[in-house]
Amino acid sequence: MWKIVGGIFFGWGLGANDSANIFGPSVAAGMVKYRTAIILTSFFVIIGALIEGPKCMDTVGKLSELTPMTAFGCAFAAAVTMLVMTYLALPASASQAIIGAVLGASCLSHTVDFSILYKIVICWVLTPVGGIVFSMILYKFLAYVLTLFFKDIYRRGVFLTIAVLLAGCYSAYSLGSNNMANVTGVYVGSGMLSPFTASFVGGLSIAAGILTYSHGVMMTVGKRIVPLDAFSAFVATLSNGMTIHVFTQLGVPVSSSQAIVGAIVGVGLVKGLRTVSGRMIATIGMGWVTTPLSAGVLSYMIIRFLS
């Protein structure tokens, strides 16, 4: 059972990196305290993992034939990749890391289900697009609702504070339901863990990452892409949760980083293109390209060495 250490390490790295996608905009906007954000995120990630976590596990577990040793190699390679991206304070894709690692391992076994791979790649492309579309629609609609029903500044402030907390909890639930497959799906595919056990172990490991090492990426997401006010933070957080949850129902684990960046860019497009930091978007984009490549190469090297 020592081989599940790779998954626990990966879950920790995912939590440290992807928790920024939940309350990052709200923390940066000064609406939610960092400590409150990480506690709420940890709790609702575990809830989402236990209730809907198994929905996406077959997609990762059946992409390639996996043994317990290759499952360990894939998870460990993805974990190291996520750790490096977190150290650089860049939002990375856990989905791309683990899929890249599985593909790297498949170079040795030559067993890839390309029908599943094509589905995953299409959903990767649609994830930031979904974030942009949801945020642009919600921004305009909710701005109209606020103007119509919350003209008093104090009442509007109270409403936004509550709304941001609820949106963040929902987004954390969506993260747990979708990304659990990234952390422990390879162990389900190799027959080491049952879906429920995998969800429980993965949920706890993600929560540990959130509570210990998430501050740097949270500031990147919250401040360096588009300057966000309270309302924009609410829209971005809600759009992120909705985007991820849609793909959970399709059974495909996607990147919460891509979803939140898309949502923030959508807000920036509504507010005016000049508010979007092109340099930061380019830097994040480079991270998305290098993540699967790095994880794939590292996975290949680890499994070849262990073999």
**Average per-residue pLDDT for the chain:** 86
Query: Are residues 69 and 268 in contact, defined by beta-carbon separation less than 8 angstroms?
Result: no
pLDDT digits (tens, 9 = 90+) for 81-92: 988 877 877 667
Q: pTM here? A: 0.87
Beta bridge mates, 112: 64
Place of tokens 């305009």: 140
Would you list the DSSP string of 197-250?
A: HHHHHHHHHHHHHHHHS-HHHHHHHHHSSS---HHHHHHHHHHHHHHHHHHHHT
pLDDT computed for residue 276 by the predictor: 60
d(CA 264, CA 95): 20
Q: Which of 123-132, 188-197, 281-290, 294-303 has the lowest mean pLDDT?
A: 281-290
- Give the residue-averaged pLDDT of 279-292: 74
d(CA 233, CA 215): 17
SS3 113: coil
> Between the CA atoms of 239, 240, 241 and 244, what dihedral angle is there, to the nearest 10 degrees?
120
Query: Are residues 253 and 95 in contact, defined by beta-carbon separation less than 8 angstroms?
Result: yes
pLDDT of 296 > 90? The answer is: yes
